[in-house]
Structure 1
Amino acid sequence: MSSTETILETQGLTKEFKGFVAVNKVDLKVRRGDIHALIGPNGAGKTTFFNLLTKFLPPTRGTITYRGTDITSERPAQTARRGIVRSFQISAVFPHLTALENVRAALQRGLGTSFHFWKPESSLYPLHERAMELLEAVDLQAFAHEHTVNLPYGRKRALELATTMALEPELMLLDEPTQGMGHEDVHRVTELIKKVSAGRTILMVEHNMNVVSSIADRITVLQRGAVIADGPYAEVSKNPQVIEAYMGSADTELQGAH
């Protein structure tokens, strides 16, 4: 795989906590433009792995390369400026602002003027049009002037997608984007992820196998911090080690996902 195809690569990425190995020598390659799903039973190390990528944790060993540059020892802000943005951790949704105001605030952050809250509101008008475009991208234009606290759960998650996109990510890290949703919301948010993936790369941690099988180009399976399988869904779902890893796991159903 040429370096132009690989946007993110980890080699031997390892994180130990006082003798407990949470992430164990993970080699991962994410191709530019793919939706790449990271799956595994609870406690497999998925969230820790995300925390390593976004620099909220330093690795014990191993390297992280983004667009051919070693970013292993960078600070979180440097990594974010490169275009690696994690959604649902920023949860940049202020409950008492409207959906539109939330997206405008995120656009402001992207401009580096996040702390200019004392500026007159008129200074935000140039951002208004872009904010409305982003709300339309996630089907929230009808909710633009609704206070976020009043939005249904699935719509709040859609708003989080819009605020993440406001930061112009090249690589979007989505952490359990459909967690806690009913069937209708899951379907809507899955479609939105597919839509917002145009022109960018997505790495997502997801439990719902129907979501993974319907939109992921590639899947990496973690178990006890180590990669046990990597490839397209059709191949990974037949892997005996993967099937065994998921047996007895109530929150994930590998069989029956179409």
Structure 2
Amino acid sequence: MSDIILETRELVKEFRGFVAVNNVNLRVQRGHIHALIGPNGAGKTTCFNLLTRFLPATSGSIWFNSQNISGDSPAVIARKGIVRSFQISAVFPNLTVMENVRIALQRGTGLSFHFWRSLRPLSKLDARAMELLDEVDLGSFAHELAANLSYGRKRALEVATTLAMEPELMLLDEPTQGMGHEDVEKVTALIKRVSEGRTILMVEHNMKVVSSIADKITVLARGAVLAEGDYAHVSKDPAVMQAYMGTVNEELEGV
């Protein structure tokens, strides 16, 4: 099996003449944490939307496990093993933490849309749901309403529901956005822990997070790849420092 799990070839996305993603060639190595970074408007989230087919590419191709998935639907791509989170927290607030994870686990039972049936058959999913909650340190919150969780714990719950889909490749879009320092540290450690035996591609603005867990970094600017390599390499690249400018530039140098 190839050590490249995901590859894009000359990927382009145009919006009425504006090129948001410009000939991006991305190669994500199996088992790695790969970070996609860049200034605001660099095309990072657009790239994620192309990879999961929430947006169709203008041109180019996307390959997953050596198969061309460029024409697949988002549902088919998810079933093949690419599962993503979003910038905005996406939990069911009026369900318990356990119920949120159990909904994700239902996909494998074929009962996802059988709303008229009793919930009793779903109790067989509880043991696996608890395993996933324990993996993200939410076991003690299993019967708490998701609405009552802190923002950082809601993010952890999203990771648990993502893991319930048994992804080969997890796409995490700004997993620490809007968090305080303590939550950032917890979620960073969580991402590192759940990456064991998995592949993660993440969009992230926090350079301390990126520097501490990313095996490889791709820097985007104006929709194109500006630099690529490990943190030590990209943080000293003059083009990267110029693209970030100001405060982030100082952060790049100081971490």
Partner Cα separation in structure 2 for residue 47 and residue 111 of structure 1 = 31
Distance 2:117 2:185 in 1: 40
Residue 53 of structure 2 aligns to a residue whose secondary structure is coil
Contact 2:89/2:154 (8 A) holds in 1 = no
Residue number in structure 2 paired with 1:221: 219
Q: Percent identity?
A: 69
CA RMSD of aligned residues (A): 1.6
2:205 maps to 207
Deviations 1:151-207 (A, max 9, x none): 111000000000010000000000000000000000000000011111110000000
- In structure 2, distance between residues paired with 1:93 and 1:16: 31
Within a 5 Å distance, the mapping from 1:1-258 to structure 2 comes to 4-88=2-86, 93-248=91-246, 253-257=251-255
Residue 156 of structure 2 aligns to a residue in which SS? helix
TM-score by length of 2: 0.96
Shift of 1:111: 3.0
Using a 3 Å threshold, how does the CA distance of structure 1 residues 251 and 235 change in structure 2: closer, same or farther?
closer
Structure 1 contact 10–28 (Cα < 8 Å) conserved: yes
Instruction: Measure, in 2, the Cα distance between the counterparts of 1:246 and 1:112.
Output: 47
Letter aligned with residue 4 of structure 1? S
CA–CA distance in structure 1, aligned partners of residues 110 and 214 of structure 2: 33
Deviation at 1:117, TM superposition (A): 2.6
Distance in 2 between the 1:88 and 1:55 partners?
A: 14
| Runs of at least 4 residues off by over 4 Å | 89-92, 249-252
- Compared CA separation, residues 157 and 60, structure 1 to 2 (3 A): same
Distance of aligned partners of 1:182 and 1:92 in 2 relative to their CA distance in 1, 3 Å threshold: closer
Aligned residue identity for 2:123: Y
Q: Is the 8 A contact 1:99 1:145 kept in 2?
A: yes
TM-score with structure 1 setting the length: 0.95
